[in-house]
Amino acid sequence: MMGSFFSAFFDVLTSEAAYINALTFAVFLGFGATGEWVAERSGTLNISLEGMFLAGAFGAAIGMDQSGNEGVALLCGMGSALLVAIVQAQMSHRLVANQFVVGLTLNILVLGLASYLASELDPVTRKSSSTTIPLLSDIPLVGSALFDRSWLFYLIYPLVPFCWWLVYRTRWGLELRSAGENPQSADVSGIDVNKRRRQSIYIAGLTAGMGGTYLVLAAVGQFEDSIVGGRGFIALIAVIFGGWTLRGTVAGCLLFGAVLSFRLSLPALGYDVSGDLLASLPFVVTIAAMSIFAARVRPPRALAQPFVRGLN
Amino acid sequence: MAGDLHHDLTSTTIVSQSEVGPAGPASGGRVAIRLDQITKRYGAVVACDQIDLELRCGRIHGVLGENGAGKSTLMKIMIGLVLPDSGTISIDGTRTRLLDPTAAAAHGIGMVHQHFSLVEPLRVWENVALGDSGRLRPAEVRARVGEISERYGLDVDPDAIVGNLPVGVRQRVEIIKCLRRDPSILIFDEPTSVLTPAESEKLFETLRHVVVNEGRAVALVSHKLDEILQATDEVTIMRQGRVVDHVKTDQTNASALAAAMVGRHVSLRSERVASSSHSTQPAVTETSTDDRPVALAVNGLRVRSHDGVLTLDDLSLHVRAGEIVGIAGVEGNGQRALADVLSSLTGLDAGEVLVGGRSVAAGVAGAMAAAGVGVIPEDRHDSGVVLEMTVAENLVLVDATRVAKSGVINRHQLRANAERLIAEFEISCSGPDAPLFSLSGGNQQRVVLARELSQQPSVLVAAQPTRGLDVGAIEYMTECLRRVAASGVGVLLISSELEEILDLAHRIVVISSGRIIGEMDRADADLGRIGLLLGGQAA
Amino acid sequence: MTAGFDSTDIDHAAVSTPDMSEVPPHTVGPLHESPEVRSQRMKLLSETAVLYVVCICAALVLSAIIVELTGGDSGAVFNALLDGSLRGPGRIGTTIGVATPLLVVALGSIISNRAGLVNIGQEGQLFIGSAFAAYVGARLGGPGPWVVFVLLVASVVGGALWAGIAAALKYRRNVPEVLTTLLLVTIAAQLAGYGLKVQWLLLAPAEGRSNRQQISKQLADDTRIPRVTWFGNEFPISAIVAIALAAIVGYALARMVWGFRLRMLGHNQRTAHRAGVSAARYGSGALMLSGAFAGLAGGLMLAGGDFGNYTLVPGFPSEIGWTGLLVALVARQRCSAAVLVAFVFACLRTGSGFLASTGVERRITDVVQGLLVLALLIPPAWMFLRQRRRAMASSEDRT
């Protein structure tokens, strides 16, 4: 048993296809998680990330179906996800409806809407072709996984440093962090806490839209209503796993991406594992990771606490 | 000017306004900001009623008043957090509307807040930059922090994390944050509540420097008489939303200010304290309690907070039955942790708590309360009451089984219990079913007191029991604590107001950095000695 | 606080600390209700009512627009929904059958919400509950009623255990229950799916099913919950049990010391701890009880006959868990209101079965439901904010 575990582990580590699969999932998670990281630094927690992904994927599919242009599809995807983000932000950070409740309801609503509209409109898409980056893609093992991809994949490379810069190097980011750590102080210092929070959710919506577009155009190639299938929650948790640092979040995405890909990689390598148990592995690993790390990391102090002036 | 005239006719001031009024030649510097007939209502409540106020360059202007007198609203109007209903504000002679804090900042008004303006996990320079506009230039901000701290002697490392700094240093950061924008008008809101006497001295020096050398106008908001007398040039006294008096500081004295502030003559605590420390008779005329049994003993308490800071460091003390032991100390030196331990809210890393000689497990839900430790918490909203529940329910929080039979609450008993306590403790509310949040702060405090005493505790811990209360409520609370002690309960009084401790305690211990650094009987105590101890010096 | 975050009330009034303290002493407290105050309150009430009506109408109109835009006929859809839920012969019985588990799930969420916990994993707890019930139902022999009883107990245990994982992680490892309950939903579905693949767990014996079908053994006739017929509407008697449970839970939360302590915990954990209410004990109790209710709902679904024809299949919970949670939210965490809301939501669901005739995809009811819930979140949140601003105003002057 242990022996076969290690041989499987070794096979996965040395399989180029395994890296491709893992990075496909990791990048998909990464799009959502990066934006969600920004949003969580402002003290919000968006369960609706799942819905944003799905809206992004659906919007992109429709955009692709209508225009045939991947750029337009990306804009449509980001726009649709932004719409979900706007509802989430306005409901829970202008009105003060509970953000979990709003997020949950939005997930259900988006799922219903996407599957209803998909069955009515039936968007047709094709898979985005890859752009090979010379030299870099020749690196053994990981070269093609990292540098022989759809252009949508490459968006993650600038996105992550951009979000880091946004949060740590701009005034907007400073205000955002203060809203997540101590909204009362931020308020007294003249910062519109809820506005910053809403804006940060918009960022999450936009990046989740990119993730949804990537998923439907580059990873799967066809829209189905189960396309996200709970993986939005994993992206959300990658942020928590990463201890609310961007570095940790990226690490979390890579780890969870790898775990998610086992379901594809292991059978491809000839290992027979029950699909159901393997499918639950990322969730189990996530829970295990949280129970190990949750006690050690420090979340933004006002995470998931609504701000109303004078409360608290 | 009609307003001024009106004021002159109606107010019974010691020094009428016209003597120090705007036209008076003796009043010194140019008018920096002038508030004219400012009124702010909240529903039926008038928080500010036709207030006139002038701050002059080069002067420190005290604003004195009790809690709820309208000082805070007035200051919030000045920094743009609150919009007045009527009245005008002129800055440098020009009428201005201050719509938000940014606008006020742009007009050169800055405020040093009492609480809530620093973000602990951020660095000093980041905090200082917070609330500005334009591009973020870290190097510039750091340099500016260094420059300001040098000029005013406010020593601070710009790259330190604010959360790691002691309270006194945090206030420096707060002041730097304010001065960075080079404000012409500075407002200090209760600045000394977190400082040792020595730190307060230092603060007033800085203030003086800012005023005399740089010609800024300063408003010092306070409810402490001695502070106003010590630091200000002139003082405006507010009561119930109105300006009741306006005098030059050197032409008044503590009792006149107190009378104006409260609206009747009060025997000042400081007077009581002063007279008692001059006479040989202690403030409390009870016989020695040394032979009474020990009600509460804590031995070698050690508590580490979540971020690894030692909040209690080998702290030991005891309280005898019938004795009031006062814990004096600057805020943030472990008082909270001690109260938390005695409220079962924190476990111990080392040490033990003995109530009536029996060891009580720390941190176990309800254990302290069950062992007979009553607590009036420092922040009743944090661990004293449930705002959303009714008065009757709040009166039985600790032991609901008292009014229940086989697990079902008997509504009649619940009500009867509440009615009895409401009458006994004169709690003003619409009835037992009033939600607690509908009560005023003083009455919420009485609910806590009534509940804790109805449990017939053997020990009562009172943490900052009079904070935020008006004079009447303070008198009630003080009297109550005396009575409780007289009935044989051991009272542990935790307070950052030295006078309160000198007034009430039989025995005084001084806390600093989580340990007891001095102990004395009331008869041997004087402000000077405690003051030295508070500063961390052995005496 | 080391990690995680304080989970707030799942009810919109997460921020329900109407802290109006420190009213300046010179005010007459807001206690003696003057005619002015009363008329103000009446105004507030009528405004709330209007707001609710407006929001619900907006949600319905929006749904109609979506239907029309995709080429459907919204009038026909509306009629089909009514036919399917209420007007058709015997349809009310079907609706009651669907409303039953919804109500039971909702009662569970009300309990955990009272303790200030955000359990959003009912869907998974329900699945595990029904899986436990199916396991017991397929194996246990003996008199029918006894089997029904034991399988329901098993479903309760299953749901409680599944929620217990989240409780243990919350109180031992500080992992927020919002996330664990959520993740456990997916894991539950996959575990049950696995169970339905192997015969030593749930898969029915080879005879009586096609080869690769994942299905559990059908419950025997005498191990099903009896059904009654009233005025041509047939439904399982568990509906009556559910109503009784609503009454019991309502009573326990409002009148018993246990409910009192749970409320204390939900509103102010520190005050509760000082007063002897251990968050770990009462909180995990409430979370597990909440899971137990969801599990029971699963058992009732399996043995009640309105779902899956007395068998367990993948996807068996069919979003009853999620919807039940929404029922509790819309009912604003009140047991009596939950009865009504559960029925309304059940109507949407049974009505959707009749949509095929209109040519409109049945998922539209999910859209209607989602929009309705969002719409119903707005009025209380808006009223709260207004009340809050007022309270703020009167406490503005605290120093």
pLDDT tens, per residue, chain B with 539 residues = 344 434 433 333 333 333 333 433 344 678 889 999 998 887 666 788 889 999 999 889 999 887 667 888 888 888 887 888 888 899 988 888 887 777 888 888 988 887 658 898 999 999 999 888 888 899 999 999 999 888 887 888 999 998 888 777 888 898 888 888 888 899 988 887 777 777 788 888 888 888 888 888 999 988 777 888 888 999 999 888 889 889 998 888 888 887 887 776 666 665 565 555 443 344 444 555 677 899 999 999 999 887 777 889 999 999 999 999 999 888 778 899 999 999 999 999 999 999 999 999 998 999 999 999 999 998 888 889 998 899 999 999 988 888 988 889 999 999 999 999 999 998 888 889 888 887 777 788 899 999 999 999 999 999 988 876 766 778 888 999 999 999 999 999 998 878 888 889 999 999 988 889 888 888 887 777 777 777 654 44
Q: Do A112 and C369 touch (CB under 8 A)?
A: yes
Residue C336 has pLDDT above 90, yes or no: yes
CB atoms within 10 A of CB C334: 17
Q: Kindly list the residues from chain C whose CB atom is less than 8 angstroms away from the CB atom of residue B468.
A: 22, 398-399
pLDDT of residue A38: 96
Burial class (CB in 10 A: 0-12, 13-18, 19+), C31: middle
Question: Strand C227-230 vs strand B294-304: parallel, antiparallel, or unpaired?
Answer: unpaired
Q: Of A235-249, B36-50, B499-513, C90-104, give the lowest mean pLDDT range.
A: B36-50
Residues in chain A: 312
- In terms of DSSP H, where are the helices of chain A? 2-13, 16-41, 49-67, 70-93, 99-121, 143-147, 151-154, 156-169, 171-181, 183-188, 193-213, 231-241, 246-268, 275-293
pLDDT of residue A53: 97
Contact, C7 vs C177, CB < 8 A?
Answer: yes
Q: Kindly list the residues from chain C whose CB atom is less than 8 angstroms away from the CB atom of residue B377.
A: 274
HSE-up of residue B224 (Cα within 13 Å, Cβ side): 19
C24 pLDDT band (50/70/90 cuts)?
A: very low
Chain C's closest residue to B414, CA to CA, is: C255
| Alpha-carbon distance C175 to nearest alpha carbon in chain A (angstroms) | 6
pLDDT of residue B281: 40
Find the CB nearest C275 among B369, B439, B443. B369
pLDDT of residue B265: 64
Find the CB nearest A297 among C3, C13, C183. C3
Token code pair at residue C90: 């015997």
pLDDT of residue C28: 37
Task: Give the chains touching A; criterion: ≥3 Cβ pairs < 8 Å.
Answer: B, C
A179 and chain B in contact, CB less than 8 A = no
- In terms of DSSP H, where are the helices of C269-309? 269-274, 284-304
Beta bridge partners of B61: B219, B234
Q: Which of A165, A172, A174 to mutate to test the interface with B (most CBs of B within 10 A)?
A: A174
Distance CA A17, CA A251 (A): 20
Backbone region of residue C141 per phi and psi (left: phi > 0; alpha: psi in -120 to 50; beta: other values): beta
C232 pLDDT band (50/70/90 cuts)?
A: confident
Buried b (16+ CB within 10 A) or exposed e, C212-244: eebbbbbbeeebbbebeeeeebbbbebbebbee
Tell me the count of A-B CB pairs closer than 8 A. 57
Q: Do A108 and C326 touch (CB under 8 A)?
A: yes
Q: Kindly list the residues from chain C whose CB atom is less than 8 angstroms away from the CB atom of residue A99.
A: 14
Token code pair at residue C394: 């009167």
pLDDT of residue A41: 95
Q: Please, what sign has the CA dihedral across residues B73, B77, B81, B82?
A: positive
pLDDT of residue A200: 97
Region C157-182 average pLDDT: 92
B101 and chain A in contact, CB less than 8 A = yes
> ipTM of the assembly?
0.85
Chain B's closest residue to A173, CA to CA, is: B136
C150 and chain A in contact, CB less than 8 A = no
**Closest listed residue to residue B500, CA positions, set B535, B524, B539, B469:** B469
pLDDT of residue B502: 87
Q: Give the 3-state secondary structure of residue C310.
A: helix
Q: Do C1 and A301 touch (CB under 8 A)?
A: yes
The distance between the two most distant Cα atoms of chain A, rounded to a whole number of Å, is 61
Find the CB nearest B429 among C31, C272, C399. C31
Q: Kindly list the residues from chain A whose CB atom is less than 8 angstroms away from the CB atom of residue C325.
A: 104
At C247, give phi and psi (nearest 5°). Answer: -65, -45
Region C321-328 average pLDDT: 92
A245 and chain C in contact, CB less than 8 A = no
Q: Kindly list the residues from chain C whose CB atom is less than 8 angstroms away from the CB atom of residue A121.
A: 70
Q: Do A174 and B129 touch (CB under 8 A)?
A: yes
Distance CA A195, CA A43 (A): 12
pLDDT of residue A302: 87
CA angle B518, B519, B523 (to 5 degrees): 130
pLDDT in tens, A98-116: 888 899 899 989 999 999 9
Residue A165 has pLDDT above 60, yes or no: yes
**Closest listed residue to residue C381, CA positions, set B291, B83, A94:** A94
CB contacts under 8 A, C 85-144 vs A, are 118, 120
Q: Do C24 and B444 touch (CB under 8 A)?
A: no
Region C305-313 average pLDDT: 87
Region C238-246 average pLDDT: 95
pLDDT of residue B536: 55
Question: Strand B45-56 vs strand B242-248: parallel, antiparallel, or unpaired?
Answer: unpaired
Contact, B222 vs B228, CB < 8 A?
Answer: yes
Residue C12 has pLDDT above 90, yes or no: no
Q: Do A177 and B117 touch (CB under 8 A)?
A: no
A188 and chain C in contact, CB less than 8 A = no
B439 and chain C in contact, CB less than 8 A = yes
CB contacts under 8 A, A 275-304 vs B, are 298, 301
Burial class (CB in 10 A: 0-12, 13-18, 19+), C211: exposed
Task: Give the chains touching B; criterion: ≥3 Cβ pairs < 8 Å.
Answer: A, C
Token code pair at residue B173: 């950061």
pLDDT of residue A100: 86
Q: Do C9 and A98 touch (CB under 8 A)?
A: yes
Token code pair at residue B531: 């003051």
Q: Of A189-193, B125-129, B361-365, C28-32, give the lowest mean pLDDT range.
A: C28-32
Q: Kindly list the residues from chain C whose CB atom is less than 8 angstroms away from the CB atom of residue A291.
A: 169, 173, 175
pLDDT in tens, A32-56: 999 999 999 999 999 999 999 999 9
HSE-up of residue C41 (Cα within 13 Å, Cβ side): 7
pLDDT in tens, A112-125: 999 999 988 888 88
pLDDT of residue A233: 87
DSSP string covering A108-170: HHHHHHHHHHHHHH-----PPPEEEPTTGGGSTTTHHHHHEEEHHHHTHHHHHHHHHHHHHHS
C374 and chain A in contact, CB less than 8 A = yes
pLDDT of residue B288: 58
Token code pair at residue B330: 């600057």
B119 and chain C in contact, CB less than 8 A = no
| Alpha-carbon distance A186 to nearest alpha carbon in chain B (angstroms) | 7
Q: Kindly list the residues from chain B whose CB atom is less than 8 angstroms away from the CB atom of residue A193.
A: none
Contact, A39 vs A235, CB < 8 A?
Answer: no
| Alpha-carbon distance A312 to nearest alpha carbon in chain C (angstroms) | 8
Q: Of the segments A65-74, A287-296, B519-528, which one has the largest average pLDDT value?
A: A65-74
Residue C148 has pLDDT above 90, yes or no: yes
Contact, A181 vs B122, CB < 8 A?
Answer: yes
CB contacts under 8 A, B 1-30 vs C, are none
Q: Kindly list the residues from chain B whose CB atom is less than 8 angstroms away from the CB atom of residue A188.
A: 81, 101, 113, 116-117
pLDDT in tens, C114-137: 999 989 999 999 999 999 999 999
Tokens 């009880």, located at residue: C289
Q: Which of C2, C5, C361, C365 to mutate to test the interface with A (most CBs of A within 10 A)?
A: C5
> Going by C-beta distance under 8 Å and a sequence separation of 6 or more, which residues neighbour residue B440?
B428, C21, C22, C23, C25, C29
Chain B's closest residue to A179, CA to CA, is: B119
Higher pLDDT, A133 or C281: C281
Q: Do B105 and A190 touch (CB under 8 A)?
A: yes
Token code pair at residue A206: 């936009």
Token code pair at residue A65: 């179906």
pLDDT of residue C218: 87
The radius of gyration of chain B's CA atoms, rounded to the nearest angstrom, is: 25
Q: Give the 3-state secondary structure of residue C236.
A: strand
Chain A's closest residue to C187, CA to CA, is: A280
A172 pLDDT band (50/70/90 cuts)?
A: very high
A111 and chain C in contact, CB less than 8 A = yes
Q: Do A190 and B116 touch (CB under 8 A)?
A: no
Q: How far are the Cα atoms of A93, A134, A236, C233 from residue A301, in angstroms, in the given order?
A: 17, 46, 18, 54
Chain C's closest residue to B473, CA to CA, is: C25
Distance CA C97, CA C339 (A): 13
Tokens 């009043």, located at residue: B27
Q: How far are the Cα atoms of A214, A229, B452 from residue A255, in angstroms, in the given order?
A: 19, 18, 53
Q: Do C120 and A100 touch (CB under 8 A)?
A: yes
Residue A245 has pLDDT above 50, yes or no: yes
Q: Kindly list the residues from chain B whose CB atom is less than 8 angstroms away from the CB atom of residue A191.
A: 130-131
| Alpha-carbon distance B460 to nearest alpha carbon in chain A (angstroms) | 27
pLDDT of residue A55: 97
Q: Do C255 and B409 touch (CB under 8 A)?
A: yes
Residue C107 has pLDDT above 80, yes or no: yes
B305 and chain A in contact, CB less than 8 A = no
Q: Kindly list the residues from chain A whose CB atom is less than 8 angstroms away from the CB atom of residue C51.
A: none
Q: Kindly list the residues from chain B whose CB atom is less than 8 angstroms away from the CB atom of residue C44.
A: none
Q: Which of C11, C19, C21, C392 to mutate to test the interface with B (most CBs of B within 10 A)?
A: C21
